Amino acid sequence: MRTSGSYAIERKYGTLAHAQAKLVKFLGGHEKAGKVAGLSTGHIQRCTSPNDKRTNLPLRCIEKMEATCNKYPVTEYLASKANLLLVQLSPVKTKKKWLKHAAVIAKEFGELLQKIAEFLEDDGDINEKEARVLLKEANDCLQVMADLKLAVEMRIEQGKKSSAA
């Protein structure tokens, strides 16, 4: 892992800079991201630099990059800015037992509640840094709920097929 350069500078969770840097990291770095996007390594570095807030990755490149790594941090960021929720449904049919779904949801929701209580305990308020932690925890909760939704939809479809037979 790099200890210098743009990866060493932490971007704020929930920002476009964070989403773009995360995408480049998913692809294995600036050089590999550049090859996928059809851009120079230098251009990728400028686009993900915390010092250049005016330069962003072109949308056509983001689309290629996200499709290549099957992760969508920039799309998730853009959806959140439009007050939309983007949750990637698992392409693999879930085989989790119903109790396992409930356990995972309880765990994630418990972690979210624990963080809220921890952050409110000191001053009764949530600051920006704490809010970013809560945003991540809330996103984790939503993902496990989306997994349950997919399982429920699959069960309904199975019921329709067996009713029709």
3-state helix, strand, coil in the chain (%, to 5): 70, 0, 30
Q: Is 42 helix (H, G, I), strand (E, B) or coil?
A: helix
Question: DSSP letter at 29?
Answer: S
Domain positions in the chain are: 6-81, 98-164
pLDDT tens-digit profile, the chain (165 residues): 343 444 445 667 778 888 999 999 999 999 999 999 999 998 898 888 777 777 789 999 999 999 999 899 999 899 888 888 777 766 555 566 888 888 999 999 999 999 999 999 999 999 999 999 999 899 889 988 888 888 888 888 877 777 776
Integer-rounded Cα radius of gyration of the chain: 19
Question: DSSP letter at 1?
Answer: -
Q: Look up residue 162 and give its two tokens.
A: 């067996």
Topology adopted by domain 6-81: 434 Repressor (Amino-terminal Domain) (1.10.260)
The answer to whether 76 touches 86, Cβ cutoff 8 Å, is: yes
Question: DSSP letter at 8?
Answer: G
The answer to whether 30 touches 2, Cβ cutoff 8 Å, is: no
pTM: 0.59
